[in-house]
Chain A
Amino acid sequence: MTGVRVLVGTRKGAFILTADGKRRQWEVSGPHFAGWEIYHLKGSPAAPNRLFASQSGGWFGQVIQRSDDGGKSWNPVGNQFTYEGETGTHQWYDGTQHPWEFERVWHLEPAIDDPDTVYAGVEDAALFKTVDGGATWNELPGLRRHESGPSWQPGAGGMCLHTIIHDPRNTGRIYVAISAAGAFRSDDAGTTWRPINRGLRSEGIPDEDAEVGHCVHNLAIHPTRPDVLFMQKHWDVMRSDDGGESWHDIGGNLPTDFGFPIDVHAHEPETVYVVPIKSDSEHFPLDGRLRVFRSKVGGNEWEPLTDGLPQRDCYVNVLRDAMAVDSLDECGVYFGTTGGQVYASADAGDTWAPIVRDLPAVLSVEVQTVP
């Protein structure tokens, strides 16, 4: 029977949550890599039992783990992330130029059609790629060498490349997002890049509609309509209908348009989910009520989803990579919180229930629909 496998990265290890297609009874496996920060885990669409995990820590640095049996066993693979050629500099907090320094892998995006190919988004912002299942990693340096690179500067969480999206209809097209530089697109498989931030406005930068410098928090697409992109920015929820060439605000009636994750229903390209957070200085839900907001019309008109979610005294956050959808007939939606809860909805968000309540702070949530 078809089921789901939810991959959860936390501050102190990884957890794998599995259920059958009903998604009522869950098995919890973990912690894997106990004590380490697991920024992200993701499975290969081409070989779903092949998983990759980014394991890091302040003491022993970056490790990449690979499983070939759906997370039952893991082995470390290559962990050398060396910037290609001259390292170069970007803008530091004090306005001086600062050398690019590798800190960690934020996001691992396996290729759609090849289980040995994975892209890694790292801090300080750069894109790496492996074509040998993780044994060796090489930078795609065209992104970091973009002429705007020296003007990029870190956001509060570091200068991280946190979002990677492959266009399923055009293998040469890749979208990435960097905090706090903005969104970029390549149409030649990562060789050259250009910023795609027209229409974004950010009050926190000197030129509100500058080409780069926007704090993009997350991007999402629907695989059947890859030219439509949804964006959760530091403030503002945005939409592009032309592959990022231009953006418009779809925040509409949201109570606050600050937040981190954004995702799209598996079968309805106009159904979008966000988790509004009070503000950039108060990273928790408005009024202590944890509400997912859903638009069924591609933005502007949003409805709160509250059934099963705490509606008082809730002050957790939901981080940018901590929401995912499954692809069962009735789309499942999942998100994790900094309070250690992972919530699941088996009815596209109408009702919710926690799978687990007391994990370490959740950094990322991905889900696989498995046979």
Chain B
Amino acid sequence: MSRTIKVALPTHLRTLAHISDRQIELDVAGGPTGKVTMAAVLDALETRYPALRGTIRDQVTLKRRAFVRFFACEEDLSHDPADQPLPEPVAAGTEPLLIVGAMAGG
């Protein structure tokens, strides 16, 4: 079952992928139980916008880049396993998944 997820991207990645809206809607495949995982969202995101490959996670190891963070529902999901289901409001499309460039540097 596919679900429509809201994803917010940082300015640099929107520019890179030629996305004008701060938030996009993405059809993401749910797992066998209908749950949506971070890995599935990133797979769908990179399929639709190939320019984003390698900018959020390593293309080979799929490890999140050090200064990228995933927030949703006022929680930091950055350190959660990529195959863990996202919070239901994100999977339901009522709350956005925020992909954020961490505050670092000057």
Binding site for B on A (CB under 8 A): 34-36, 57-63, 75-76, 79-80, 82
Chain B 42-71 interface 0/1 with A at a Cβ cutoff of 8 Å (1 = within)? 000000001101111001100001011000
A59 vs B9: C-alpha distance when bound (angstroms): 13
A61 vs B65: C-alpha distance when bound (angstroms): 8
Q: Which residue of A lies closest to B65 (CB)?
A: A61
- Distance to closest chain A CB from B11 (angstroms): 8
Given A36-B12, A60-B13 in contact, is the A79-B67 Cβ separation under 8 Å?
no
Q: Which B residues touch A35, using CB under 8 A?
A: 12
Q: Is A60 a contact partner of B105 (Cβ separation < 8 A)?
A: no
Which among A57, A76, A80 has the greatest number of chain B C-beta atoms within 10 A?
A76
Q: Is A59 a contact partner of B67 (Cβ separation < 8 A)?
A: yes
A62 vs B101: C-alpha distance when bound (angstroms): 15
Q: Which A residues touch B53, using CB under 8 A?
A: 79-80
Q: Which residue of B lies closest to A76 (CB)?
A: B51
Q: Can you list 16 A-B pairs, Cβ within 8 angstroms, ordered by A?
A: A36-B12, A57-B12, A59-B10, A59-B102, A59-B104, A60-B12, A60-B56, A61-B65, A62-B54, A63-B16, A63-B54, A75-B51, A76-B50, A79-B53, A79-B55, A82-B59
With A34-B15, A59-B65 known, 12 other A-B pairs at CB within 8 A are A58-B105, A59-B10, A59-B12, A60-B55, A60-B68, A61-B54, A61-B55, A63-B51, A76-B16, A76-B51, A79-B55, A82-B59
Q: Which B residues touch A34, using CB under 8 A?
A: 15
Number of interface residues of B (CB under 8 A): 20
| 8 interchain residue pairs of minimum CB distance | A60-B55, A76-B51, A59-B101, A59-B67, A79-B54, A80-B59, A61-B54, A61-B55
Q: Is A59 a contact partner of B68 (Cβ separation < 8 A)?
A: yes
Which among A60, A75, A80, A82 has the greatest number of chain B C-beta atoms within 10 A?
A60
- Distance to closest chain B CB from A149 (angstroms): 21
Q: Which A residues touch B65, using CB under 8 A?
A: 59-61
- Distance to closest chain A CB from B3 (angstroms): 26
Binding site for A on B (CB under 8 A): 10, 12-13, 15-16, 50-51, 53-56, 59-60, 65, 67-68, 101-102, 104-105
Q: Which A residues touch B54, using CB under 8 A?
A: 61-63, 79-80
- Distance to closest chain B CB from A212 (angstroms): 29
Q: Which A residues touch B51, using CB under 8 A?
A: 63, 75-76
Q: Which residue of A lies closest to B51 (CB)?
A: A76
A62 vs B67: C-alpha distance when bound (angstroms): 13
Given A35-B12, A36-B12, A57-B12 in contact, is the A63-B55 Cβ separation under 8 Å?
yes
- Distance to closest chain A CB from B82 (angstroms): 18
Our pick among B10, B59, B60, B104 for the contact of A58 (Cβ within 8 Å) is: B104
A60 vs B50: C-alpha distance when bound (angstroms): 14
Q: Which residue of B lies closest to A80 (CB)?
A: B59
- Distance to closest chain B CB from A80 (angstroms): 5
A371 vs B67: C-alpha distance when bound (angstroms): 44
Q: Is A60 a contact partner of B101 (Cβ separation < 8 A)?
A: yes
A80 vs B104: C-alpha distance when bound (angstroms): 25
A57 vs B50: C-alpha distance when bound (angstroms): 18
Q: Is B67 a contact partner of A58 (Cβ separation < 8 A)?
A: yes
- Distance to closest chain A CB from B45 (angstroms): 13
- Distance to closest chain B CB from A86 (angstroms): 14
- Distance to closest chain B CB from A317 (angstroms): 20
Q: Which A residues touch B13, using CB under 8 A?
A: 60
- Distance to closest chain B CB from A25 (angstroms): 30
- Distance to closest chain A CB from B30 (angstroms): 28
Q: Which residue of B lies closest to A62 (CB)?
A: B54
